[in-house]
Structure 1
Amino acid sequence: MERPCLSRRHALLFPATAAGLGGLAACAPEDEGFGTSGPLRAEDGTIPLTEIPENASTMVNFGGQQPFVLIVRGAGDDLAAYSGYCTHNGCALSQEESVLDCPCHGSRFDAETGEVLRGPATRHLPEVEVVVEGDVVHRVR
């Protein structure tokens, strides 16, 4: 009897291997989660206040460790800031108007409050301390 080119054991492992590789690709490091609208870049650790629109939320890359911060600006220099990473598994979030989406597992957050709108995340986004000095915004480390 001729031996088959693909054993039963290997045939059973194939779907699991393909699913595992697909799952790894979903959280690949080169995918920062921002799609077509990237965050504002704060090259020197500061960003001009004028680049952050009033009455809106904006993702900012301050560089360094955990660089992505969601800044929510009211009128003038009224700011609040939240981590730009999902509290479920740490993936970088993408912003779609007033909602932040996690490209890894589908969690959604309110872009003005950081509150969870849909799981699997169960914790809201932690606040990040930022200060306005003159006409620039600094992230406090």
Structure 2
Amino acid sequence: MDRPCLSRRRALMLPVSAAGVTAVAGCAPEDEGFGNGTPVRAADGAIPLADLPENTGTLVNFGGDHPFVLLVRGSGDEVTGYSGYCTHNGCALREVETELDCPCHGSRFDATTGEVLVGPATIHLPEVPVVVEDGHVRRAA
């Protein structure tokens, strides 16, 4: 007598297997934020000051550990850096117009001040030290 292609044991394992695949798919990384575009990449760890529009924020990828930094340029050489990661759960933020949105849990931050606009985050984005040297912005050592 031929054995069935699907034994009772395997048939009973299907729901468990499907649940496992669904759970693993749910753990897939988010789109890492960035909305409709990608952060500006800082070549050699620096970005030309001229690439940062005045009186606005720009998400920049400096590379290395926690590479994403929101650079907010005021007028002239005035630049402030903020973390590009949500203070609620550490997800990379995405830039959407004048806000930074967290794709993980929906927190939103002001893209010029780092202040929380919508929770669950309750802490504003911490400052990241940056310096302007020779017309380029770098993370401070």
Q: TM-score normalized by structure 1?
A: 0.82
| Match in the other structure for 1:50 | 50
| Match in the other structure for 1:78 | 78
Deviation at 1:129, TM superposition (A): 0.5
User: Matched residue of 1:21: which SS?
Assistant: helix
Aligned residues: percent identity? 60
| Match in the other structure for 2:103 | 103
| Match in the other structure for 2:113 | 113
Deviation at 1:140, TM superposition (A): 0.8
| Match in the other structure for 1:133 | 133
- Greater Rg over alpha carbons, structure: 2
Runs of 4 or more, structure 1, over 4 Å off, are 3-7, 13-19
Deviation at 1:36, TM superposition (A): 2.7
Query: What stretches of structure 2 of length at least 5 have no aligned partner?
Result: 1-7
CA contact (8 A) 2:32 2:103 kept: no
User: Matched residue of 1:35: which SS?
Assistant: coil
> Are residues 40 and 18 of structure 1, via their aligned partners in 2, closer, same or farther at CA, if it must alter by over 3 Å?
same
Rounded Cα–Cα distance in structure 1 between residues aligned with 2:18 and 2:87 = 30
Rounded Cα–Cα distance in structure 1 between residues aligned with 2:105 and 2:22 = 14
Rounded Cα–Cα distance in structure 2 between residues aligned with 1:114 and 1:95 = 12
* Aligned pairs, number: 135
Rounded Cα–Cα distance in structure 1 between residues aligned with 2:137 and 2:9 = 66
| Match in the other structure for 1:21 | 24
User: Matched residue of 1:50: which SS?
Assistant: helix
Rounded Cα–Cα distance in structure 2 between residues aligned with 1:42 and 1:69 = 10
Task: Please report the RMSD computed on the Cα atoms of aligned residues, expressed in angstroms.
Answer: 2.2
Deviation at 1:54, TM superposition (A): 0.7
Rounded Cα–Cα distance in structure 2 between residues aligned with 1:95 and 1:16 = 33
Give the letter aligned to residue 75 of structure 1. S
Q: TM-score normalized by structure 2?
A: 0.82
Deviation at 1:80, TM superposition (A): 1.1
1:37-65 alpha-carbon deviations (Å, 9 max, x no partner): 11111120111100011111101111111
